[in-house]
A = this chain, B = another copy of it.
Amino acid sequence: MSDVFKQLEKQSQGSALSLEDALNNLTYNEAGLIPAIAQQHETGEVLMMAWMNRASIEETLKTGQVCYWSRSRNSYWRKGESSGNQQTLVSMAADCDGDTLLLKVDQKGAACHTGRRDCFYNEIKVDGLTINSDPIQDPNQLYQNSKA
């Protein structure tokens, strides 16, 4: 954890830091990425987790449309660019040690590339895994103009 986030731990509500200092002191992994959890702002549904780099965080804050970094495509991933299912940013927060982001968003349609509302449909119990939801949109329709 950076010293800056260590110092923030003991500060009170309302204490502030510049955007530059905040983004410089997040902990990025060896690929320059930080995990970002997307949560539907008014229902609390956890929709997905993906990765951002510093530039995608800055773009997201400036445009208000969530932009991740795709590790599989090795490129910016402007959520909804292919599918039309954009994520509009409502708020962004870093955790205590500055190595994870929480994005509260307004998700249009399905967040998951399978066409399901969210990605966490594989429920795991001591007796096994069970799929607990079905698609709300046809994934073949979502990506008909794209390979992704």
How many residues of chain A are within 8 Å of chain B by beta carbon?
Answer: 59
Q: State the oligomeric state as a number of copies.
A: 2
**CB of A121 to closest CB in B, whole Å:** 7
Tell me the residues in window 20-63 of chain A with beta carbons closer than 8 Å to chain B beta carbons.
21-23, 35, 37, 39, 43-46, 48-49, 57, 61-62
A129 within 8 A of partner (CB): yes
A142 within 8 A of partner (CB): no
Q: Which residues of B are found within 8 Å of A122, using beta-carbon distances?
A: 5, 8, 22, 93-96, 98
- A101 to B121 CA separation, bound complex (whole angstroms): 10
Q: Which residues of B are found within 8 Å of A114, using beta-carbon distances?
A: 9-10, 96
Closest B residue to A92 using CB positions: B124
- A12 to B122 CA separation, bound complex (whole angstroms): 11
Q: Which residues of B are found within 8 Å of A92, using beta-carbon distances?
A: 123-125
Of the candidates B16, B57, B112, B132, the one whose C-beta lies within 8 Å of that of A128 is B16
Knowing A46-B37, A46-B46, the reply to whether A128 touches B19 (Cβ < 8 A) is yes
Q: Chain A: residues with CB nearer than 8 A to chain B? A: 5, 8-19, 21-23, 35, 37, 39, 43-46, 48-49, 57, 61-62, 91-98, 100-102, 112-114, 116, 119-134
